[in-house]
Amino acid sequence: MHFRYENVCIETIHAGLPDEIVTSDEIETRLAPLYRRLRLPEGRLEMMSGIRQRRFWPRGVLPGEMSARTGERAIRESGVDRGEIGALIHGSVCRDYLEPATAAGVHHVLGLPSECLLYDVSNACLGLLDGMVQAANMIEMGQIRAGLVVGTEDSRALVETTIAKLNADESLTRNDIKSAFASLTIGSASAAILLVHRELSRGGHRLLGGVAAAATEHCELCRGGQGAAGDDGGLLMDTDSEMLMKQGVAAATTTFERFCRHLGWTPSDIDKTFCHQVGRAHRKLLLDALGLRPEIDYTTLEWLGNTGSVALPVTAALGIENGFVRPGDRVAMLGIGSGINVVMVGVEAGEGLGIRD
């Protein structure tokens, strides 16, 4: 699939971050029974992933509550009349309930129009990027004037359940625990992306278009949910990290070639990149495979970990806020999610985007 836009601008990308910081050293301290039993060296979690810390939301906070807060900041920062927002899409893996849509509660808190279309999108780490494409399509077709895409990931339950399981199961071997490694790198964050018709835009940050692709023969390489590891012991994730990295980068490589052809770019034309934040090894392998220089890529994985569907927009918001993107830059947003799915979009930057809580 490919798409092009003449009338769509990204008006604001906003990041919301929790206050509670959990270091990789702290997680290893909590895993002391497992580490002693298997004689694992301390520091291996940060050494293997490049992730020093991640963040957790307060206990009991629902994703929709934080999505509404982040969405409100994005609307206020943009100066766009909320009456112009014709679609609200909640795109994170984490949601408040099975029903109603988490978007319904966010819509209510934000006071959006009753005519506003609202729904949830779920597609692993690509939910918010998928929401961007859907909102942009509606703007380009003239169905709406503005669309808001929000999402919040909460990693606390997954990390804590994983720690408890690893410590409790004394039958686990070094090889057995590999499938749980990715779960310990997950962090929490929130993001909001406001897209508008170019007639409403003050910054003129054009969304040019992009491509999408799937390699679903690898859909079983990462599975998360209640009892995902084969029991009913709570929220767990079972990931073949090495194979997921290999096949994800392979899918990204072929998709990136289509992406460049579609936009008429070469890798050397790209001024800045924002990618899904997984880990140090994944980043190096991906950039090498795509022929992109590390210095044009902005990262947050070291201090936020892998924040799922909000990782890429949060990284973009923070990079833009910190002056990484300059007016006129050609920016590639390169998303890869389990499934395996790939979405890549190109942006021509204007005068300024985003702000952080």
- Which are the catalytic amino acids? 99, 125
H or E segment to which residue 153 belongs: strand 146-153
d(CA 196, CA 145): 6
d(CA 15, CA 9): 18
Considering all CA atoms of the chain, what is the largest pairwise distance in Å, rounded to the nearest integer? Answer: 63
CB 146 within 8 A of CB 200: yes
Rg (CA), the chain: 20
**Facing residues of 333 across strands?**
274, 345
Nearest to 180 by CA among 193, 169, 188, 189: 169
CB 315 within 8 A of CB 277: yes
H or E segment to which residue 314 belongs: helix 311-321
Nearest to 191 by CA among 50, 111, 94: 94
| Dihedral in degrees, nearest 10, Cα atoms 56, 317, 213, 104 | 60
Residue 86's alpha-carbon distances to 13, 65, 115, 137, in angstroms, are 18, 21, 7, 12
The angle formed by the CA atoms of residues 173, 174 and 180, to the nearest 5 degrees, is 95
What sign results for the dihedral spanned by CA atoms 342, 97, 314, 235?
A: negative
Nearest to 21 by CA among 235, 192, 189, 191: 189
* Secondary structure of 264-313 in HEC code, one letter for each residue: CCCHHHCCEEEECCCCHHHHHHHHHHHCCCHHHEECCHHHHCECHHHHHH
